[in-house]
Structures are given as structure tokens and as C-alpha cells.
Structure 1
Amino acid sequence: MKKSAHSLLLLLFALLTAGTEAPASSIPETLNYQLTWTGVKIGTSTLATVTTGDGIEITSKVRSETWSAPFYKVDDLETSKLDRDGKGYALHSYKMKLREGKNDWYRAASVNRKSKRFEFVDLKSFEKSSTKLVEPAWDPVSCMFYLRQLPLTVGKEVEVNVLDKGKLNRIKVSVLRRETVHTPAGSFKTIVVAPNMDIESQGLFYARGPLTIWLTDDARKVPVMIEKRIKDLFRDGIPPYLQQFTPESVRNNIPRMETIKAVLVGGSY
């Protein structure tokens, strides 16, 4: 696969704003996902949230299937820590270690509210950088935690701050519609949102291109399904090792060929 698709996964996008009050019933929480491409299982992902003293810690893990290791292995870990801030929470720090195919990224970030800076460090080269802290803002993992606290209205847009790769990104998120979806974890009435992911980042679900998320249409707003399309993913043709998994009818369906899906299969929520 080409570099623009440098991840068989990585759950969730970057969407953020201010500290938020979380329902006590949602913590601790574990969400387990199955990742598929053209209907073929390519990996698993887990998003877990636990309390840590006065704050919370959110961990995202992604693993590819064993069969994919010879040509594209994925082993990703991201951790976000939030501090209690009044009735809600505020970002404290973020660390990521992504191993995807021949690529790997290892970096950390933290909030320095005294100097009003968001500080980054590459944990391979130890190169440091920082950007102005424009609050409210979150990292690519805690953003989903925040999104689930927002009141969402169909037809409305939300503009959010995304801090990633040493810079501030502003993303518009459209609330599209209500829809019932069926997953291995059950059938859910959902509200569908689509963030504009025109940003520079790492990981498939953070890359440029259409991203759609189905959240349960209730107070919990559990993410039950995520779809990411990467346009021109196979611009140079489908690699021979993938053709065995894709019937001709599927190969002729370009939107489907360019789409990765994460579907809820279980957990505690």
C-alpha cells in the first residue's frame, strides 16, 4: 500500500474543544472493535477509559491480524491523560507509539498552562517543538471522549481545535443524520457525524479523506461504527497479495475498495 495509507487502522479522529463533564456511568469503560476492509477482518482495536486519582486515562490499542504480518503489520498504542477541571476534565498529556508496516512513530506531548504552550517531543530523535495553547483543545485520543459529551443537532456544524504533530488544527464536524445500524454488539439507533479530516497526521483514520462516525443516539453516545475512505488508495493498482481477498465485483467498486471500517463487537459500556 502507498504511504498515504500508512495504517491499517487506528481508531478515531481528532476533534476537540473545552474540558467536559463525563457521566460517571461511562467510567470505567472498554470498547472492543473489529476492523475490516472489503468485508475481510484485518485487525482489532480497543478503547479503554479508567479513573486515575483525580483524573482519567484513555488508552487506544490497535493490532493487525496475524495473516497480514508478512506485508503489513500494525501494532499501535496511544495514551491520553486528563486532569479534573471543575466539573469536567482538561487535557494533561498524550503519548503515541505507532508501528505500521515499515513506518513507526513515537512521540509525546503535554500541556504547559503556565506558559500557555502545548509542548511536543519526538521520542526517537528527541527533537522538541511547541505551539500556542488555544483552549479548549484535546489530543487525537481524548477528542472522542469530549465529542460524546456534546449536544449534537442534525444539520448543524461544530468547529473544534485539534493539537497534533506540533501544531493547531481547526476542524469542522458536520452532524449528518439519524440512522439505525446493525453490529455484532447489537442494533443501535445512532446519530451520524463527519469531521473534515483535512489535516497532516499519522494513522489511517487521521489521514486526509472522508471520515464518518456513528454514535448511539442517547446520553452515552457510544461510537459503534467508524468508516474511513482514502481516495486514490490503489491509484497504482491493487497489490497482488491483496487480490486474493478481493473478488472482481469488489475490485470494481472503488469507494468500497478505498474504505476501512471499525465496528463495535463488545466490551463494557
Structure 2
Amino acid sequence: MTKLAHRLLPAVFFFAFSAGANAYAAETLNYQLTWTGVKIGTSTLSTAATGSGVEITSKVRSAAWSAPFYKVDDLETSKLDREGKGFALHSYKMKLREGRNDWHRAASVNRKSKRFEFVNLKTFEKSSAKLVEPAWDPVSCLFHLRQLPLAVGREVEVNVLDKGKLNRIKVSVLRRETVQTPAGSFRTIVISPNMDIESEGLFYARGPLTIWLTDDAKKVPVMIEKRINDLFRDGVPAYLQQFTPASVKSNIPRMETIRAVLVGGSY
């Protein structure tokens, strides 16, 4: 159960970090997280002005029914400074409680020394990495992407600094598509970041990631799907059998896919 839990519930909760916000307006995004149509949690993403900067806060909670199996209580905060006509990363802090796992770390940018500095807030171990700009943390990377012009058939790249490393992420812009969510019908542009890199939690679980952004200036993430390759290679555990519809037990791609959909908020 521990191995599965480490790959299932937290995997979808990386959606919370990645849903950035429009740089020029306060925003709250509320999501419902599902697996095979069953609600497994909720996520709230909020963005607020702080003086001349921006603070993005991600909160994730597992559904009550799943607490006996795998309780999730995550909080991540990213702070950005105004720089010219845009923003630049200032600091990042995360506290993830996922089942028996408890990750607590922080990072900050030192532009004077051109270093990105990390600290493990459980062990107080420190490290640093060369700063390559523009650089973003796991919460603010999509914030940055949402400010870029996206053209179908093209790729863009973004630097993500996490766990003491610089990761160069390629993002493919796939197509335009209209999707239905509890928050309404949206015309979207669909992107797929290649985020198969090492991290803590399930943000970088192996498998395709697809994000539907509104096809307008705001680029609001309205739906996100994550397929976790080989999630049930050892079969579906008994405690999940009762929540697995018979119609999807033989559909491996669907069994391995977690979905986050927008259900409301202000944006």
C-alpha cells in the first residue's frame, strides 16, 4: 500500500503547484481531483499582490474517505518580485505531508552571488546551485508559461529549480480543443510539459502530463491529466477494488490516469 500510495494520491497533487496565475490580477482556482471518476481530493490555488510582488499559495487536501489509506495535507508558497515589465523568482517554501512522507524545504534566489540556495527544514542541511535565469520553482513555473505566447506545433522551454538542481523542461503545444468542466465550457489550448525529472512528492511521476489552458490572455488551467506509467503493474490493491468501476478495470490508460478539473473560483 505504501508504494502505491506514494505514486497515486500525491501524483495528482502536483497539479496544485503547477496551476499558476495571471500576473496582473488576484486569482483563486478551485479543483476537484479524481481517479476513474472517484473524487480523491481537492486543491486550491490562490495568487495575491504583495507590495510590488506576487505570492502564489497552493493547498491540497485528500478526500475524507482516503485518509485511512493515505492522508495528504500539502502547502506550497512561491514569492515573486516585480522585475521590469514582468516578475522574477524570489523564494519558495513547501511542506508536504503525504501518507508517512513528510517533506519540508525552502529555497531562495541570491542574485548578487548568482546562486539558488536550498535548505532542508527538517535536517537544516544546506546546498546551492548556479542560478540560470529566468528560473522558476515548481509552483511558479506554469505562472511563467501562462505569460508566454503559445503556438500550436511549437515548443517552449522553462528552467525549473527543485531539490538543488536546475531542470530544463520542454513544453509542447499540441492543439486547440473545447472542454466541459463543472465550472463551464472552455475553448482551450493544450500543452504537454516533459517533466520526467527527480523530485519529492509526485510532481515528476513518470508518465505523460497534459494541461488545458483557456485560449485567451489569462490561460487559466481548467483541466489537467497525469498518466502514471505502471501504476498498477502489480494489480489493483484490495482496498481500492471497491472504488474501481468494473468498466475501467481492463482499461490500463484510464486506470493509470489522474484528472484535476476546475470547479470554481475567481479568475
TM range (shorter): over 0.9
Corresponding pairs, count: 262
Aligned partner of 1:103 in structure 2 is 101
- SS of the aligned residue for 2:15 comes to coil
Deviations 1:226-261 (A, max 9, x none): 000101111111111100011232111111111111
Please report the TM-score for the alignment, with normalisation by the length of structure 1: 0.93
Shift of 1:185: 0.2
In 2, Cα distance between equivalents of 1:8 and 1:198: 13
Shift of 1:11: 3.7
Aligned partner of 1:178 in structure 2 is 176
Aligned partner of 1:164 in structure 2 is 162
Shift of 1:208: 2.4
Aligned partner of 1:18 in structure 2 is none
Aligned partner of 2:188 in structure 1 is 190
In 2, Cα distance between equivalents of 1:33 and 1:230: 19
Shift of 1:154: 0.3
* Closer, same or farther: CA 236–22 of 1 in aligned 2, 3 Å: closer
In 2, Cα distance between equivalents of 1:197 and 1:238: 26
In 2, Cα distance between equivalents of 1:205 and 1:36: 16
Say whether the 8 Å CA contact 1:14–1:206 is kept in structure 2: no
In 1, Cα distance between equivalents of 2:22 and 2:185: 24
Write the mapping of 1:128-167 to structure 2, written as runs, cut at 5 A.
128-167=126-165
> Superposition RMSD on alpha carbons, in Å?
1.7
Say whether the 8 Å CA contact 2:27–2:48 is kept in structure 1: yes
From 219, 226, 232, give the equivalent of 1:228: 226
% identity of equivalent residues: 81
In 2, Cα distance between equivalents of 1:23 and 1:202: 27
* Closer, same or farther: CA 42–99 of 1 in aligned 2, 3 Å: same
In 2, Cα distance between equivalents of 1:143 and 1:246: 33
Please report the TM-score for the alignment, with normalisation by the length of structure 2: 0.94
Structure 1 unaligned regions, length at least 5: 16-20
In 1, Cα distance between equivalents of 2:63 and 2:7: 21
